[in-house]
Structure formats: C-alpha cells, structure tokens
C-alpha cells in the first residue's frame, strides 16, 4: 500500500511538471507576440513623427527660400507667375554728334554718334578692327505725326548691316518705342551698336521720302 502511494505521488509530480512546461511554452509565444506588437507600434509611431517632421521641414525650407514668391495677400505663388521687372535703362555718355562723310565709311572713336543717311556707314573705333554699321533702311515709322492726336504710341524700326573689318556679320534690326527713355543698345561681339534717334519726325499730311531719313548711330564697348 505504501508503494502504491509513492507511485501515485510520482505520477502526480510528473503530470505537474508536464503541465508547467506546457504552460511556459504557450505563454512564451504570447509574450513574443505582445512584444512584437509593441515594437511595430513604436516603429509606426516613429515613422509618422518623422514624416510629419519632414513635411514641416519642407514647408519651412520653401518659405525661407529666396526662390519663393508671395502675392499681396501673402499667398505663395510660383516663379513663373511673377512679372518680370524691366531692366534699368543704361546711362551712356556720348561725345558730340557728327555728320557722316559723303562717299565713304565714317571712322570715329567709340561713343561718337554719327548721323547717317540710308546707305552710309559708321566704323568705330577704327575701320580695320572695329565694328562697322550700315544704315540700310527704315522698316517702320509709326510715330504720332506732329499736329495729330494718336491713341497709342508708335515706334521706329530700322535695319542695319554689320561687319568687322571685311567680314560680314549679318543684319541687325533695331527699334525705338515712342516715348522710350534712352537709346536702344544691341550687343555685337565685344562691341555694341546703339540706335539713338531717327529724323525727321512725321508731320500730319506730309510724306517722308525714304532718302530723307537720318539715323543717329554709335558704337560703344
């Protein structure tokens, strides 16, 4: 009887050990699952914070950038929507205006305005090494005639032919808008051709013969 009691006790002890082992094996995965869930939650929260931080940083970088533009109400607009401001008018100091030489190219120093008839040339600073400008024709003269009232301003457009030494550089069309402040300057290689004025001014009821036009042109650097 004593041996049977001992046997029952040992069986009970083994069952207890088995049950404890099974309980540990079941609780361990649950613990791992809970731990994994906590980690994933932490990672998701960190990612959300980082994305939020990136967005805020991006907004600040745009607002602080010199490429950002804002309207009068403070709304940000793209650079393409802004109006380009006109460039400041170039201030040039010229020498005294001279009349072009008849029958040949007029050589004058830089910044010397030369009054040219159609077909005449200016070479500056010298004929061999400078820029030569031929006054070829008047393409348009829509300035408001003296004695009339015009609703809109006109313009004067001339065509010139350029050369350097004996090398042709092609044609150059130059325009002065009526009421424009200052001459029109066009860069040509290391020099610039300057269209200063066109005479005579139109008069109401009169027609200007093309040969009567005189364009004042200079070469600067």
Tens-binned pLDDT, residue by residue, of the chain (221 aa)? 545 555 555 656 666 655 555 555 444 444 444 454 554 555 455 545 445 444 444 333 333 333 333 333 334 433 333 333 333 455 899 999 999 999 999 999 999 999 999 999 999 999 999 999 999 999 999 999 999 999 999 999 999 999 998 899 999 999 999 999 999 999 998 999 999 999 999 999 999 999 999 999 999 99
Predicted TM-score (pTM) of this structure: 0.60
CA dihedral 18, 20, 23, 28 (to 10 degrees): -110
d(CA 40, CA 27): 20
Distance of CA 123 to the CA centre of its chain: 35
Task: Provide the CB-side half-sphere exposure for 96 (13 A, CA).
Answer: 2
């Amino acid at each position: 009887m004593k041996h049977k009691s001992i046997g029952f006790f040992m069986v009970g002890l083994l069952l207890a050990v088995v049950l404890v082992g099974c309980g540990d094996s079941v609780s361990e995965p649950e613990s791992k699952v809970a731990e994994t869930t906590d980690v994933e939650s932490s990672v998701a929260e960190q990612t959300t914070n980082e994305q939020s931080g990136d967005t805020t940083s991006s907004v600040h970088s745009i607002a602080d950038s010199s490429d950002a533009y804002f309207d009068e109400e403070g709304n940000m607009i793209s650079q393409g929507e802004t109006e380009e401001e006109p460039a400041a008018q170039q201030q040039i100091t010229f020498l005294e205006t001279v009349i072009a030489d008849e029958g040949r190219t007029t050589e004058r120093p830089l910044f010397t305005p030369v009054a040219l008839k159609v077909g005449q040339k200016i070479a500056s600073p010298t004929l061999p090494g400078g820029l030569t400008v031929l006054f070829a024709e008047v393409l348009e003269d829509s300035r408001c005639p003296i004695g009339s009232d015009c609703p809109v301003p006109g313009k004067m457009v001339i065509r010139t032919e350029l050369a350097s030494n004996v090398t042709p550089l092609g044609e150059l069309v130059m325009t002065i808008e009526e009421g424009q402040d200052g001459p029109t300057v066009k860069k040509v290689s290391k020099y610039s051709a300057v269209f200063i004025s066109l005479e005579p001014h139109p008069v109401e009821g009169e027609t200007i013969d093309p040969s009567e036009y005189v364009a004042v042109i200079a070469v600067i650097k």
